[in-house]
Every structure is written in C-alpha cells, then in structure tokens.
Amino acid sequence: MTRATTGIPMTGLALGLCVLILALMAASLVIGPVPFDISHALADLMAGRPSLEAMVLAELRLPRAILGAAVGFSLGVTGAALQGLMRNPLADPGVVGVSGAAALGAVLAFYFGLSSAFALALPLGGLAGAGLATAFLLVLARRGAGTATLILAGVALNSLTGALTALALNLSPSPYAALEVVFWLMGSLSDRSLQHVALTLPFMVLGWILVLATSRAMDALTLGEDTAQSLGFSLPRTRLLVVGGAAAAVGASVAVAGAIGFVGLVVPHLMRPLVGHRPGRLLLVSGLAGAALTLGADILVRLIPTRPELKLGVVTALLGAPFFLLLLRRLKMEGE
C-alpha cells in the first residue's frame, strides 16, 4: 500500500473520501424543499411508475447530486494540477481564463434569447466559449510557451471576457434578462436535468483523465524543471495536458453550474499535508475532496431557510474568502 510521508495510507484516504461523497450524494437526494420517501421514489422509478416522487428524484435531485460531485471533482483536481504546474499556492482553475470564456458563452446565450428558446443553449454556449479559449491556450502551449506566458494569457483572457460580459449586461434590452444572467453567474446546481449531465459530464471526464495523467510529472517538477526534463518528462507535454484538461473540466463545469469559486484554491491546501506534500498524489484526493466540499455546500444551501434559495457560488465564496486571507497571511509570514 502506498503511503504519504505523513504515514496516512493513500488508499484509505481515497476510500474514506469516496464513502463521504456517497453519503453526501445520498443526503442530496433526500434533502430539499419537498420532503418525500426516498424508498418509494426509488421503487416507482425502477418500476417505471410516473409518480411525482419518482419525477422529483429523476429530474431534479439525481442530476443535482451527480453534477455536485462532478463539478466539485473538476474544480478540486484542476486546482491541485495548476498549483503544482505553476508552483504557486494561489493558482486557481479560473487562472487559465477558461472560466471567464465559458461564462461569456453562456451570457451570450442569455443575451440573444437562445436559452429561452432551447433548453440546452446555456451549457452549449458555455462549452463553445470554453472551446475557443482552449484552442487559444493549446496553440500557445504547442508553440512552447512557458508557464509564465500561459498565466499572462489566462489573465488577458479573463480581463477580455469579463469586459465583454459586462458589456452584454450593459446593452441587454431587457432588465429581466440581465437579472437572469447575474443570478446565473452567481453559480447554482438547481433546476439542472439529466440532459445537462449527459452534455457536460463527458467533457469533465476527459479533463480528469488528462490532468491525472500528469501525476508523475508533477512529482518530478518539485525537483526543478531541468531535473524533471533529465528524468524524461516533457514540460511542453505536461503543460498541454494540464491546460487542456483544465479547459475541458472547468469549462464544462462553468457551462452547467455558473461560477463557483474558491473550491479549487481551498481543497488542495486542506489535502496537501495528508499526502506528504506530494503534488502527484494530491491530484486524486483533491478531486475527491472537491466533490465532497461542493456537495456539502449545496446541501447547506438547501438547509438555510431563505427564499429564494441562496446561490451555491455565494456560499463557497463566503467559506473560501476567509481561508484565502488566512493563506495570504501565512505565506507572508513564511516569506519574512
């Protein structure tokens, strides 16, 4: 059994997180504004009986639970990968600019009225925006652009897409459409269907595969880029896999759930001491912990007695912002 330098069994840690995710998904199926008997709903669903409980389970609760786990895994694993690649503890999935581009694509679907005419226009618009940003970043990576260049390109993409999103809101012909865009940008998993899951989950899974394939290279990078190259690891290939994987996973996540911040920043720092500060080992457990954190936050959203329901992105920001400030303080103290 592989063990981190802290002595915690890696297999045990991963299995424990998987059990926690399954428990949170089960709780997500049960908790909601409309209480019902989950056993009856499952029986009706398996028997094909079109009861109200079965419809609520299949059309509302199940997609929300699946997307909560998938979006959280995407944010957690890409956050750990970007921090390892850039060797920057403040790196976040949004740093590559794909989140902003995906948000812009979804906003344009709102702006031109496509979302009201076609239910899947919103995630398709987000995926289109993410795809364009990915193509731009992959061209840079293939031309041998360094990590610093990719960071600057991500900053430029975020600035451009943020400005275009603000322009679309400013020129929106309907205040109701602008309000809908603002609510979507806050991030939420409510009112998502199995169609949204089928459309975005393959892109997320592709992103996970690409990112997890860099685990050995991440460990080698801790010894320095020259040493990693001497050990046979290609830095351009590693950058390509991380950027492409982050683009696919995060782009699909933003396309279906809006902006959910701080998960990719917070989770790797919580898991890092448990894996002996090994970037390669951190990837999988950060993804699992990200899934658990997102599911837990989404359950908390439903337990807080507010109407309308709080947005998931607001809750993760309230939880993550104080952690971010504490992290900055700790890094400042370590640098002194």
Tell me the DSSP string of 146-174. -HHHHHHHHHHHHHHHHHHHHHHHHT-S-
pLDDT of 68 strictly over 80: yes
Q: At residue 9, what are phi and psi to the nearest 5 degrees?
A: -65, 125
The arithmetic mean of pLDDT across residues 58-68, rounded, is 92
DSSP string of 246-306, one letter each residue: HHHHHHHHHHHH----SHHHHHHHHHGGGGTT-HHHHHHHHHHHHHHHHHHHHHHHHHS--
Pick the CATH number of 65-335 from 1.10.3470.10, 2.60.40.10, 3.40.1410.10, 1.10.238.10: 1.10.3470.10
Contacts of residue 164, Cβ cutoff 8 Å, sequence gap at least 6: 104
pLDDT surpasses 60 at 1:
no
What's the confidence (pLDDT) of residue 4? 41
pLDDT digits (tens, 9 = 90+) for 269-292: 999 989 987 888 999 999 999 999
150 has a pLDDT exceeding 70: yes
- Residue 187 reports pLDDT greater than 70: yes
Q: Which residue has the higher pLDDT, 115 or 19?
A: 19
pLDDT of residue 64: 95
Q: What percent of the chain has pLDDT over 70?
A: 94
Residue 21 has pLDDT above 60, yes or no: yes
**Can you give the pTM of this predicted structure?**
0.87
The answer to whether residue 245 scores a pLDDT higher than 50 is: yes
Render pLDDT for 219-241 as a digit per residue (tens, 0 to 9). Answer: 888 888 888 888 888 888 898 89
Q: Is the pLDDT of residue 147 over 70?
A: no
Mean pLDDT of 147-156: 77
Q: Over the chain, what is the mean pLDDT?
A: 85
Whether the pLDDT of residue 179 is over 50: the answer is yes
Residue 2 has pLDDT above 50, yes or no: no
pLDDT digits (tens, 9 = 90+) for 293-324: 999 999 999 988 887 888 999 899 888 888 87
pLDDT at 5 (0 to 100): 47
What average pLDDT does this structure show over 23-45? 84
Pick from 23-27, 80-84, 125-129: least confident: 125-129
Summarised one tens digit per residue, pLDDT across range 92-129 is 887 778 888 888 988 888 888 787 777 678 778 888 88
Question: How far apart (Å, rounded) are the C-alpha atoms in residues 125 and 130?
Answer: 9
Domain ranges within the chain, ordered by starting residue = 65-335
DSSP 6-40: TS-BHHHHHHHHHHHHHHHHHHHHH-SSS---HHH
pLDDT of residue 267: 94
The answer to whether 186 and 318 are in contact (CB under 8 A) is no
